[in-house]
Amino acid sequence: MRFAFGSILFAADMAAVSPAFADGVTCGKPCVIQYSAGGNVLGFRLQGQELAAHSTPVIVDGPCLSACTLLVDEARGNVCITDRAVFGYHQSFADRGGERSYVPLEYKTPGLDAFLEHHGGEPKGVFLMVPFAQAKAFYQPCAGAS
């Protein structure tokens, strides 16, 4: 069974996942994120938990924006980042009856919430961009990344 959230295709059984995905994301072993604009918060959190449960290595090799950061947060013990990795954080929101409500997210990665707060917190409507040079304080650089 397969279903899509944002720019990553998910499967109920990770072994059944095809290695090629849309928008530069390949979730085999390892799961490679070359570009993800994010999408459904719950879907990305659940996929990160699934990757963690299967000890699937995750390589962030480009922009990981919005809900994609939650996938990486959930799978953090199996994540490495290349020097092309950049993370984009913003407040989560829900549209209800034409009115947008914002909700700050909580991250499990040690130090990440404090880092975001130090930089003004998750902004509304724009991204707080965190490039490799700063992100390597939270995520292991991949072999060969500087």
Q: How confident is the model at residue 68 (pLDDT cuts 50, 70, 90)?
A: very high
Structure confidence by residue, pLDDT tens digits, 47-63: 899 999 999 999 999 99
Q: How far, CA to CA in Å, does 36 sit from each of 69, 97, 101, 125, 127?
A: 9, 27, 23, 17, 14
Q: How confident is the model at residue 4 (pLDDT cuts 50, 70, 90)?
A: very low
What single-letter amino acid sits at 45?
R
Structure confidence by residue, pLDDT tens digits, 73-117: 999 999 999 999 999 998 887 777 888 887 777 788 888 888 888
Expressed in angstroms, the distance from the first to the final Cα of the chain is: 39
Quickly count: other Cβ atoms within 10 Å of residue 94's Cβ: 10
Whether residue 8 is predicted with pLDDT greater than 70 in this model: the reply is no
- Nearest Cα to 52, choosing from 80, 72, 69, 35? 72
Quickly count: other Cβ atoms within 10 Å of residue 58's Cβ: 24
Degrees to nearest 5, angle at CA 62 with 35 and 92: 60
